[in-house]
Amino acid sequence: MADSPQYKRVLLKVSGEALMGGQSFGVDVSVADRIAADIAEVRAQGVDVGVVIGGGNIFRGVAVASRGGDRVTGDHMGMLATAINSLALRTSLTRLGVDAVVLSAIAMPQICESFSQRKAMAYLNAGKIVIFAGGTGNPFFTTDSAAALRAAEIGADVLLKGTQVDGIYAADPKKDSKAARFDRITHEEMIKQGLEVMDMAAIALTQENNIPIIVYSIHEKGGFAKIIRGKGRFTLVSG
């Protein structure tokens, strides 16, 4: 069937900024609810879904470092921000009647469970949405790298990155309206051209593990499910 899902297990990376909606800070519950509904729609099609959320809507460790602060402490604060966002998304999913669990790379037993690959696999195999909080658990790594790492650990067929635009462009399309857009591109070409859609460590990790990347707009309602069926507007990174 043309409309059947093309993937069995996926890892979705959502930026923290996406959760802000029209706000300048924090979590817009209506946006979290919409993203949760998109995830629930994909899960209802029988697709296993893991999620990594950034923390930029609350805190960025690199911002501390750029002002002369301690990068390690800043990154730890950023990891806590991802936990807040993960709990918000789990709450939205729970309201929809979808089973979801948060697994954190930083131990926070009163708040959520700690991450292990075996635990993540067990929850995914049981049909639960697994939200990975705390990044990689280490400073100096972005949540993009965390997404690539978790995708490899759970054996994801594809890593989807929901962004502010509908694919990968040669330059920021919000600043350059004539920027060329790619329908397909290889991991190697992304690295060579220095396209800043994901950090180099994340691209290299997905390339090494033969995980394709799909970049699409997180703002289109139902867009996630379209992508899973091979439809919609996106850029595919593979090869």
Note the pLDDT tens digit of each residue in 161-182. Answer: 999 899 999 988 888 988 999 9
Q: Is 155's pLDDT higher than 60?
A: yes
Query: Can you tell me the distance from the alpha carbon of 60 to that of 25, in angstroms, rounded to the nearest whole number?
Result: 12
Please state the three-class secondary structure of the chain as a single string. CCCCCCCCEEEEEECHHHHHCCCCCCCCHHHHHHHHHHHHHHHCCCCEEEEEECCCCCCCHHHHHHCCCCHHHHHHHHHHHHHHHHHHHHHHHHHCCCCEEEEECCCCCCCCEECCHHHHHHHHHCCCEEEEECCCCCCCCCHHHHHHHHHHHCCCCEEEEEECCCCEECCCCCCCCCCCEECEECHHHHHHHCCCCCCHHHHHHHHHCCCCEEEEECCCCCHHHHHHCCCCCCEEECC
Residue with the bigger pLDDT between 176 and 128: it is 128
pLDDT band per the 50, 70, 90 thresholds, residue 1: very low
Angle of CA points 61, 32, 204, to nearest 5°: 50
In CATH, what class is 9-237? Answer: alpha beta
The structural domains of the chain, with segments of one domain joined by +, span: 9-237
Note the pLDDT tens digit of each residue in 38-87. Answer: 999 999 999 999 999 999 999 876 676 677 778 899 999 999 999 999 99
Quote the mean pLDDT of the chain: 94
Q: What is the pLDDT at residue 177?
A: 86
Q: Is 110's pLDDT higher than 50?
A: yes
Q: What is the pLDDT at residue 182?
A: 96
